[in-house]
Chains A and B, each alone.
Chain A
Amino acid sequence: MTNEAPAAAEAATLVKSEDARLQRFSEFWYYFSINKGAVAGLVVFALLVLMAIFAPLLAPHSPDDQFRQSFLTPPAWQDGGSWQFVLGTDAVGRDMLSRLIYGARFSLAIGFVVVITALVSGVILGLLAGYCRGWVDTFIMRVMDIILAFPSLLLALVLVAILGPGLVNAMLAIAFVLQPHFARLTRAAVMAEKNREYVVSAKVAGAGHIRLMFSTILPNCLAPLIVQATLSFSNAILEASALGFLGMGAQPPTPEWGTMLAEAREFILRAWWVVTFPGLAILITVFAINLIGDGLRDALDPKLKRS
């Protein structure tokens, strides 16, 4: 009997916080959905994710099958095209459409892996710097400054040259050059939050350093990090395809869009389709994500609301 009252109260607060979360989400969605572009971007992005997941079902051919009778077949609507290969074939007779569909898997995977790696390491470094201050802060932020002093693509290129060309190394290199942005943002947000009353009261209540950093302060710094994560997602896809294009990213015959462009380069004046479609795929993906990013920024940034 005596235990019931606190239990009920606990349940009530749980429901309440659930409600509050729902309400916050619906408020967020209200602001996000005002932005038609952002919603369109979200729809395109969802379609791309579905395409990547169900690639084996959607693709008419295997991405690596070479049809020896049909090198550089133009798209179906052009003279000499056939509906067997809707978007034509490349120089060794592989179906462009199937390669593009499979390519979505690589680009999206690159985006997720890079953002998560950069986010986790950047947030930890930023939290440490902003929370500890002193020499820890100076040291971490100086290292971040050094990384930012190099043009990002150049540093990524050199890192890949050290590690050896390949998709995994390219992802690591890009995560490395993107993480200072997360560290800087987290540090700034932590410094703004650190002396607020709720943090002080948590400290007085006996919360340890780790708890203060990760479960008291961090959740209140999330808004700018989410926006940065979206921007980094599109950046990661662009940089990975640039590395692929320069021959330092995914290696042929991987149907990564940038790598496909590198292979297509010598045919630019003879077969426009092998060049046009992979780049268009990159552009559409990155554009959709950037639209989402703009919408998120408007919805999450209270300063810009209703302006």
Chain B
Amino acid sequence: MLRYILNKIALIIPTFIGITILAFGFVRILPGDPVLVLAGERGISPERHAELLHQFGFDLPIWQQYWIYLSNIAHGDFGISFTTKTPVLRDFLVRFPATLELAFFAMIFAIILGVGLGILAAVRRGSWFEQLSMGTALVGYSMPIFWWGLLLIILFSGMLHWTPVSGRIDLLYFFKPVTGFMTVDALISGQKGAFRSAVSHLILPTIVLGTIPLAVIARQTRSAMLEVLGEDYVRTARAKGLSPSRVIGIHAFRNALIPVVTTIGLQIGTLMAGAILTESIFSWPGIGKWMIDAISKRDYFTVQGGLLLIALSVMAVNLIVDVLYAVINPRIRVQ
């Protein structure tokens, strides 16, 4: 097992180096002088220009710049934001829990509904339920989620006034973040109504972010179940008189689980991309919105650092999924 994990980590190293090169190259391939781009439209005196060039190390040979960049990263220095003058890593860490909370609930929503729908559709093959649920799943898969979010806002916030339009919690409530998960912190704070407020802010973004993973998981679960339900051992289990729920739940589903887990793991990247859109619609203060803001403000150091940090977190999550996968399925370890 340890060897398997070490092997996986060794495979990641070249990708990691490639990612750092890409993020490093990003600021250098911007058209024009990087300092002028960073200074914006105000212009800059020649002395200050030279000073900044030196400060950022742009006057050194490129390989030396890359080396400094790498060693800075090794020390946890991902650059300083050009607009707020705060370390990029700190900005990232402040916002990361918000995205994590949203992604976590979106995934729970997608897995529970998706797996349930997929199993039911496979069991009732050829019924109107299968047609309807798989048709709906394909609609979900085709959904422009930024539009879907706006529609939900029109319906639930605009017409029915059930949910708030944006943010994570009402401004009435204020407490120190403990876990970074607003729902958990609200519970810990013990303020009346805080938890309710946090949950109501979470509902629409969760649905929006979970829609595409839900559709993918439902489709994948159905086809995995259909494949397994055709196997001999399922027929045997039926023939020896086991109850349908036992056959489906224990014999079939356990074996259909493997492709489903893979699919769930593959959704992490999709989730991050979806978070950019979802957070931008609901003004959710997570890393997706942070990146969009940085890009539109041309805060290139934040974009550079954020790009690297996001790629690293996706890589880390994928590694965890790979390891979990090997725990579930011993055959993987041996290969």
Contact = CB atoms under 8 A, between A and B. Distances in A.
Interface residues of B, number: 43
A34 B26 CA distance: 49
Contacts, number: 123
Scoring A37, A151, A234, A278 by chain B CB atoms within 10 A of each residue's CB, the highest score goes to A151
B209 interface: no
B276 A245 contact: no
Interface stretch (A53-61, A189-197, A268-276): A268-276
Nearest to B21: A146
A282 B314 CA distance: 29
Interface in A130-161: 142-143, 145-146, 148-155, 157-158, 161
Given A142-B15, A146-B22, A152-B269, A279 B314 contact: no
B135 A283 contact: no
A258 interface: yes
A294 interface: yes
Interface size class of A (residues with CB under 8 A): 35 or more
B277 A153 contact: yes
- Which of B30, B142, B150, B158 has the most A CB atoms < 10 Å from its CB? B142
A268 B18 contact: no
B29 A162 contact: yes
Contact of A149 (B146, B147, B292, B311): B311
Given A151-B310, A154-B310, A286-B142, A268 B147 contact: no
B30 A242 contact: no
Contacts of B141: 290
B203 interface: no
Interface of A: 37, 142-143, 145-146, 148-155, 157-158, 161-162, 164, 234, 238, 241-242, 245-248, 258, 261, 265, 268-269, 272, 275-276, 278-279, 282-283, 286-287, 289-291, 294
Interface of B: 14-15, 18-19, 22, 26, 29-31, 135, 138-139, 141-144, 146-148, 150-151, 153-154, 157-158, 269-270, 272-273, 276-277, 280, 291-292, 295-296, 298, 303, 307, 310-311, 314-315
